[in-house]
Structure 1
């Protein structure tokens, strides 16, 4: 058996302890401390079925990893399973006939009855067929604060964006970075998403990103959001990190006051033994609105002509959505489970906030669901340019946003 076959989707059938186990390679981009701890829960649960998880972690963000994953699938070297975000990122692969349908598994196990909200599973559906297993709900609409930083600066921990802005000068005086944003383009895009959702409001957010309503970009509500974006750039001046988890580490260490980031930041706080409400504060909707988004991660399974691999893929899909694995994975990842019937007695304060809003508050689609992959990349590139080029005006952002929405219409 060749090394290529051992590592790819057509994996080895290994005899161990008297039982045959099918190895499948699983590619993903979870490489930070908290992410690695979370994905290990899936690997452990899958190995317990008698199969073997071969970890195919790709360093960097999804933007770095996805082209590698797509190239392997289209080039005839598919893995057994691969991560994508909820939304349209794998649609072309599905339409090309390269990804297998999970419809039979989903029907047999009642996925449409247990996944909540229903829009999460709907994002895995193309032409009435389920093509992926969603593993979490990641809301991107959070502001994370270091309690130690505010104690050092001698000001109360902010309760919302307005107090956060007002406290910034005191943090500067204390040598603390008020707002930290890494250089990955999607981090800058997250800031825009947050100010529009929390300050312009969920209705305007829907008009802009879901309906691609050009007139909404010029609305009074959006003017307030753009003003907050200008303030965010001022507060982020001095940020000197690249990766999102490096920015989170600055909040953990108290060298930065806050970070606008998705709830996966919780995984980094957890691995650093920090306690929600004591060591750090989490503000959904920038503390201005009870709102969460329904982005997240899902796993797709390339088609392979090997019954053993096909069976192992089904085993893995069932493991990932099982109640036990959902709890173990999401408690370490910082995300919310996709099942509405799991026991989360050990959930921390921040996860409970998210779950409460998910149950009774306002839920919007994440950008990965609202925009095509190309439009999302264009938006991220524009926003990182805005945060790095002081001479780029907010009018440039408005025009660029309109162009992107028209491109995606």
Structure 2
């Protein structure tokens, strides 16, 4: 993330731009040309690419012209977006995750707000609170959420289970480790993993949520409580995280998440811990939940549902045609029907809890049922931590994953990283 002092350099011209989107809705001058939107995003894998086509087509159906700017990799895509904003050539819209990734951009007054859409659709009532907390600042909404991703689903191959003699999905951590041992004994890859720092954070988050539950998770990640981070309970989570390394194959370092998913799809691996965007890869491969693969949202009935998602933000501009395109895209993205169509291919669930989700698959239906329980609505690490804090914790977890380090030292390092 570009720091605030760098973003401030752009304010000279940006702050003279047009007012927030909510002010101009309905007031932009009519144009004979169709609204054209250049949209930067990082949906480039097979399932993701099919999903974003739904958004593009819905925008075209509404009378717009979609200009696709796909950039592989979230970090790279976000960097291009921010550099374009600072450089005076912003896109019409850009994808970010539902997190604190764009907080600095909001604070430097570089985005149009979308209050008119939010008010018309009563977002204060229908959206989950952890997501509202990151897209709403000082009483204004600055992003249009498209979906909800749950970051820590446990996916498994039915074929691999059969080969290893596993007759039912695990319902506790001991049962999960027992299943991993059986897969290893059968000569399969027990855990498909990509050795990248963000993927290790996903795996760590899954263990923290499933072992520690909501209370421990929030005390560590949201409250950054020093005593809790140094406690025996958190130590047990870190030891379980390290144990998972013994189930990963030697080819894991540097592997992309979708390549790890492909190992499960092919039956070469038993499990993968990954967000529900992985389901888009299963769908793209023609596999069905319950038949070819299984999905576990949590090992306990009260395991928190760690939410993230995708949003579109709209850089400030004084160009009437661009404002018109932003208006149209905001309205399109926030429609329940589009969110259903997108989620069916992306693997997510609609962010609008009033969407009719009976068309979604078995795994998505599990997610929709869970999300209705507000006590299980919890954000991912990026919802509660600044990018710097999250990055520091990722570095510590990756070092612990790859090196022989005493767990107590890791606890102290995380406590220091999250102290302020």
TM-score over 0.5 for the alignment?
A: yes
1:277 equivalent in alignment to 2:299: no
Q: How far apart, in 2, do the equivalents of 1:189 and 1:396 lie?
A: 18
Q: Which runs of structure 2 are paired with 1:141-180 in the superposition (5 Å)?
A: 141-160=152-171, 161-180=173-192
Q: Which runs of structure 2 are paired with 1:235-384 in the superposition (5 Å)?
A: 235-240=247-252, 242-286=255-299, 289-360=302-373, 362-384=376-398
Q: Which runs of structure 2 are paired with 1:7-26 in the superposition (5 Å)?
A: 20-26=33-39
Alignment CA distance shift 1:293-1:380 (3 Å): same
Q: How far apart, in 2, do the equivalents of 1:335 and 1:309 lie?
A: 29
Alignment CA distance shift 1:198-1:288 (3 Å): farther
Q: How far apart, in 2, do the equivalents of 1:63 and 1:395 lie?
A: 31
Q: How far apart, in 2, do the equivalents of 1:219 and 1:355 lie?
A: 34
Q: How far apart, in 1, do the equivalents of 2:170 and 2:179 lie?
A: 11
On the 8 A contact 1:93/1:99 being kept in 2, the answer is yes
Q: Secondary structure at the match of 1:88?
A: coil
Alpha-carbon deviations, 1:202-230, whole Å to 9, x = none?
10111111111010012232132122112
Q: Secondary structure at the match of 2:34?
A: strand
Alignment CA distance shift 1:287-1:145 (3 Å): farther
Q: 1:13 is matched with which residue?
A: none
Equivalent in 223, 228, 233 of residue 216 of structure 1: 228
Offset of 1:334 from its aligned partner?
1.0
Offset of 1:156 from its aligned partner?
2.2
Offset of 1:383 from its aligned partner?
2.2
1:225 equivalent in alignment to 2:237: yes
Q: 2:129 is matched with which residue?
A: 118
Offset of 1:38 from its aligned partner?
0.8
Offset of 1:404 from its aligned partner?
1.6
Q: 1:8 is matched with which residue?
A: none
Equivalent in 113, 135, 143 of residue 132 of structure 1: 143
Q: How far apart, in 2, do the equivalents of 1:283 and 1:224 lie?
A: 22
Offset of 1:276 from its aligned partner?
0.8
Q: How far apart, in 2, do the equivalents of 1:286 and 1:142 lie?
A: 10
Alpha-carbon deviations, 1:44-98, whole Å to 9, x = none?
00011111111111112x2232222211111212111011111211111111121
Alpha-carbon deviations, 1:109-157, whole Å to 9, x = none?
43334x3323323321111111110111111121111111111122324
Ranges in structure 2 where 5+ consecutive residues have no aligned partner: 1-30
TM, length-normalised to structure 1: 0.90
On the 8 A contact 1:20/1:50 being kept in 2, the answer is no
Q: How far apart, in 2, do the equivalents of 1:403 and 1:29 lie?
A: 33
Q: How far apart, in 1, do the equivalents of 2:317 and 2:67 lie?
A: 17
Q: How far apart, in 2, do the equivalents of 1:184 and 1:72 lie?
A: 27
Q: How far apart, in 2, do the equivalents of 1:236 and 1:392 lie?
A: 18
Q: Secondary structure at the match of 2:144?
A: strand
On the 8 A contact 1:121/1:134 being kept in 2, the answer is no
1:388 equivalent in alignment to 2:384: no
320-329 or 172-181, which deviates more: 172-181
Offset of 1:398 from its aligned partner?
1.4
Q: How far apart, in 2, do the equivalents of 1:281 and 1:353 lie?
A: 12
Q: 2:106 is matched with which residue?
A: 94
Q: How far apart, in 2, do the equivalents of 1:239 and 1:98 lie?
A: 42
Q: How far apart, in 2, do the equivalents of 1:251 and 1:203 lie?
A: 32
Q: How far apart, in 1, do the equivalents of 2:330 and 2:345 lie?
A: 19
Offset of 1:104 from its aligned partner?
2.7
Paired residues in the alignment total: 387
Offset of 1:191 from its aligned partner?
1.1
On the 8 A contact 2:340/2:360 being kept in 1, the answer is no
Q: Secondary structure at the match of 2:329?
A: helix
TM, length-normalised to structure 2: 0.88
Ranges in structure 1 where 5+ consecutive residues have no aligned partner: 1-17
